[in-house]
Amino acid sequence: MKNNIKKERLNIGLTQKDLADQFNQFIAKTDIDLKPVSYAAISRWESGENEPQYYVWQAISSFFHVDIAYLRGYSSGKVTFENEHNTLFTKRLYFYLNQKNMTMNRVATLAGLSATTLSSIINRGSSPRIDTVFKICEGLGISFTEFFDFPPYNETEK
């Protein structure tokens, strides 16, 4: 059965080398316990020559924000994580993790949250409660307003 790694990689305009680089940055920033992957490994996964371990599938699906069954080719329908707002929240969180050169575990510690709570928001697309969002902002050292100062949240109706 053919998986959808290549399809998702091409959807976001990455070469295999680019995907390896970005995926390795993703696993480093999120403290996922995986060894870095090479572009050759990605090539073997895409061709079906090798099959990633299940925990690697989980990380790849988190990276692409898609369901594991779809990514593995078991489902023809692409199921993305919960909704657009969760995806925007996750992207914004990654933006600040990169900007401030912080890991998820560090933010969780500074925010007084468990790493599991933060991981659940990121990897499962769970909707965080408002008090959790405030804690995450505190852990990042930014205000709630600053966190959401980007489109569509900072646009006013005319």
Q: Which residues of 75-95 are buried (b: 16+ CB within 10 A; e: fewer)?
A: eeeeeebeeeebeebbebbbe
Domain segments of the chain as ranges: 5-72, 84-147
**Tokens, residue 6:** 């290549």
Please tell me the pTM assigned to this model. 0.53
Asked if pLDDT for residue 158 goes beyond 60, the answer is no
Q: Which fold has domain 5-72?
A: 434 Repressor (Amino-terminal Domain) (1.10.260)
Report the distance separating Cα 149 and Cα 137, nearest Å.
12
pLDDT at position 27: 85
Helix axes 130-140, 104-111, angle to 10 degrees: 110
The more confident residue out of 105 and 6 is: 6
The more confident residue out of 57 and 42 is: 42
The more confident residue out of 64 and 42 is: 42
Report the distance separating Cα 75 and Cα 69, nearest Å.
6
CATH 1.10.260.40 fits 84-147, yes or no: yes
